[in-house]
Amino acid sequence: MKNNRSFPSKRCAMAAIALFISLSAHGAGPRLVADTFTATTANMTPAGVNLRMQVIQWQEAAARTEVVATLAAGADASAPLAKLPTVGYVWPNGSPVGYSVKYANHTPAPDGNERVTLVTDKRLGSYDFKGWSAATAGGNDKPYSVIELELDSSGTGTGTFSLGAEVLLDEAAGTVALKPGGQTLLTNVKREAGQADNKSSHP
């Protein structure tokens, strides 16, 4: 009888092991995140909001081209953009709701610097009662947001997003960028510790 009573516990243990193996095989949990960046809003309203930007995967050229073509649809881009694969999230501090990232690209420079470009399916601040604003509004009429981070070789830097800079789309090259000279709206930009080697993994 003792052996019979031990069967359920053995089955539970085996089920737990199988679940662990299954989750590991699918890269569950933190393993899904390829890169994480943090930043703080500045020179805008609201200022001092901490953002956490998680990239699940850096996209290949074909996927980026599809996103740029969708953005080129203009005001009608929001709905089809939401249907594209999600490759990351942007989480404002204290908010239970994040923004889905549909475009994720990073470009390393020979000197060790790096530019990170992300596009969210909704405009940053659109979940807030009062929308986000800046003294110099760039692409504030867009239904999405483009984020650009400029990092040095140590993984720190500054950034901005389309609230304060014009969005530039290059359908032929399949790239999206912000017009140079835009106002700095993101300070204290940092790559999360432990992920510094990810900057070399560019498709």
For the segment 10-51, what is each residue's pLDDT rounded down to a tens digit?
A: 444 433 433 333 333 333 444 479 999 999 999 999 999 999
**23 with 9, same domain?**
yes
Residues in CB range of 136: below 8 A, 6 or more apart: 164, 182, 183
**53 with 135, same domain?**
yes
d(CA 133, CA 130): 9
Domain boundaries, position 19: 1-28
**56 with 150, same domain?**
yes
**97 with 20, same domain?**
no
φ/ψ of 30, rounded to 5, equals: -60, -20
Confidence at residue 194, expressed as pLDDT on a 0 to 100 scale: 65
Positions of the chain with pLDDT under 50: 2, 5-31, 196-197, 199-203
Query: pTM for this one?
Result: 0.80
* Beta carbons of 88 and 54 less than 8 angstroms apart: yes
**57 with 153, same domain?**
yes
**45 with 107, same domain?**
yes
**21 with 37, same domain?**
no
Helices then strands, each counted (H, E), the chain: 3, 12
Confidence at residue 139, expressed as pLDDT on a 0 to 100 scale: 58
**3 with 48, same domain?**
no
**41 with 108, same domain?**
yes
Confidence at residue 137, expressed as pLDDT on a 0 to 100 scale: 63
**44 with 23, same domain?**
no
Domain tally for the chain? 2
| Neighbour count for residue 66 (Cβ, 10 Å) | 17
**150 with 66, same domain?**
yes
Q: Largest alpha-carbon pair distance within the chain? A: 78
**141 with 73, same domain?**
yes
Confidence at residue 75, expressed as pLDDT on a 0 to 100 scale: 64
- 186-191/156-161 β-pairing: antiparallel
Confidence at residue 69, expressed as pLDDT on a 0 to 100 scale: 93
